[in-house]
Amino acid sequence: MLFIRVLSSIVFLFAIIFTIPLTFDVGGRTAGLAFSLSLASYYFYYSLLRLATPDGSRFRYALVKLTATTQWIMIPTLMIWSLNKFSVDVENSAGWVERTFGGKRAADTSIQEWLFGVGGLLETVTIGSWDKLLRYSTPVFQLAEGFCSLLVIQACGHFTRYLVNRERGDSWMIGLLVVSASIISSSVYFLWRITTFPEISNVDAILIGASITCAIFLCSWGIGSGRGNPVESSLLFAYVTLCIYQIFTDYQPSTPTDAPPTPPDPALPPLPPIIMASYTTLVQALSTLPSTIHSAFNFIVAAFMTITPSVIVSLAYRVFVLYASARIIPAIRESGARALSQEPSLDDTDEAGQVLGFLSWFSPSILIAVYTSLLMQHFASTSGEGTPQEWWTSQGGDVGSNLWRWINLASTMALYAVELYMGRADDDRMLSHWKVD
């Protein structure tokens, strides 16, 4: 049963990760928002149905199972529906407001078409509200990422301090020092890569220098005062580097200006004739496959091409820190290390656990909203001619800004500085939560 749940979750993640950017790329901004909204609404209904189903209700239990079974059909169905209804119309590129409240539409169409038709009032209210909600949620998602990252960093620091205070603590100390040095070395490498980016202006360089200086000062203060440790400081420095790297790059390798000349074809085949003949036979056999298989292969390749590394890395990191925080908060507040193996529940005694349990029920819809927000942020912030920014702004999207990423970086370091100031050396208040029975 556990294996089926894990497999279902993996398939769900892959389906969401591939279909949403593909819908944005093929159908345009409106189609992508419509598909994202329909998916979020569908999983909100599914989560609400699970939450409202009592243990003794057979009908509701059967309805929950039916909804869970049909979700793999609903995802491609909603995608096809969004592409068919909301794809970009080249001849009519006006925005939602112009298409809905324009006098020409009101004069040439009926009231029913004006309210419920393509580009009508209902479409404007639903998709437009979803668009604004994702825009306004971007600062919330960004600041929540910083807070959860700081929580995970401090939990790692307390746990490593517990390991060092156990028996054979010297061995743990040496191993953790090696890990911390490796993290800092990797961070320094990525900082060096940032300095090679040609898009960095003088203001960007000043902000980067100030951020790195503050991070080094906080790390030194934490280690020197005994209120932190090398693992905690190295993770904080790595997170600062990650934030800066996300602002200035798309995780793509730098392309050299002078490409090396193409080597001439070898006079002899690279492999023995038997292997080359088998390869030729396999290629010919694949070329005779039905066109449906080729179309499916091209569809999969197109789905992979629409996914940018920056969005995937940001999504994976946010999911990790949010999930880790949902386990760490109950462990700190009440149950100790045993709570790390327990899912948040609405039956928890404290309010924080109840809130986390409530959010865990609606995690699919929240994941879709976070992923769509990251995609929109990527499309808006990519600059240059012929890039996604030009395509995004031509469909009514705004030009992105990295302001909230800088605010998140500054607020995370400020909160960590407050924690160091209010803490005390060799703080053992959390060590009691990590008992060995």
Among 14, 77, 6, which residue's Cα sits nearest to residue 316? 14
What tokens does 348 get?
């928890």
Tell whether the torsion through CA atoms of 243, 249, 254 and 257 is positive or negative: negative
**What distance, in Å, lies between the first and last C-alpha atoms of the chain?**
30
Q: Shortest CA distance to 176 belongs to which of 185, 158, 188, 164?
A: 164
* The two structure tokens encoding residue 138: 């971007």
pLDDT value of position 24: 85
The pLDDT of residue 185: 94
Instruction: Give per-residue pLDDT as tens, 112-145.
Output: 555 555 555 677 778 888 988 988 888 899 999 9
DSSP-derived letter for residue 214 is H
SS3 at position 209:
helix
The set of residues, in sequence order, having a beta carbon less than 8 Å from that of 26 and lying 6+ positions away, is: 83, 87, 302
pLDDT confidence of residue 164:
83
Q: Which of 123, 73, 126, 129 is nearest to 98 (CA)?
A: 123
Question: Which tokens go with 256?
Answer: 């050299």
Question: Tens place of pLDDT for every residue, the chain, 437 residues?
Answer: 666 777 777 777 888 888 888 888 888 888 889 999 999 999 999 888 888 877 777 777 788 888 888 888 888 899 988 888 887 653 444 444 444 444 444 445 566 555 555 555 677 778 888 988 988 888 899 999 999 999 899 888 888 888 888 766 778 888 889 999 999 999 999 888 888 877 778 888 899 999 999 999 999 998 888 888 899 999 999 999 999 988 887 655 544 444 454 454 444 445 555 555 665 666 666 666 666 565 656 666 666 666 677 788 888 888 888 888 877 766 665 555 555 555 656 556 666 566 777 777 888 898 899 989 888 887 776 544 445 556 566 555 565 567 888 999 999 999 999 988 887 654 544 444 334 33
Q: HEC profile for 223-284?
A: HHHCCCCHHHHHHHHHHHHHHHHHHHCCCCCCCCCCCCCCCCCCCCCCCCHHHHHHHHHHHH
State whether residue 427 is helix, strand or coil. coil
Can you tell me the distance from the alpha carbon of 171 to that of 164, in angstroms, rounded to the nearest whole number? 8
